[in-house]
């Protein structure tokens, strides 16, 4: 996941905060299917 130019590899149970207006992207680098839960405030 990339948020505002910072890239991290997320694991099971990780949470990532995406500030309003931040440029972000998500890419599956796992060998299988991943599932994402999005929440908005």
- Tell me, what's the pLDDT at 38? 85
Shortest CA distance to 21 belongs to which of 6, 4, 8? 4
Q: Nearest 5°: phi and psi at 3?
A: -135, 115
Q: How far apart are CA 27 and CA 41, in angstroms?
A: 23
- Using only C-alpha atoms, what is the Rg of the chain? 11
- Tell me, what's the pLDDT at 41? 74
pLDDT digits (tens, 9 = 90+) for 1-41: 999 999 999 988 999 999 999 999 999 998 999 888 888 87
Is the entire prediction scored with pTM above 0.75? no
Task: Give the sheet arrangement for strand 6-7, strand by strand.
Answer: 6-7, 2-3, 24-25
């Amino acid at each position: 996941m990339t948020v505002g130019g910072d890239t991290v590899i997320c694991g099971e149970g990780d949470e990532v905060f995406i500030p309003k207006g931040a440029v972000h992207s998500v890419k599956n680098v796992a060998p299988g299917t991943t599932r994402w839960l999005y929440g908005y405030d």
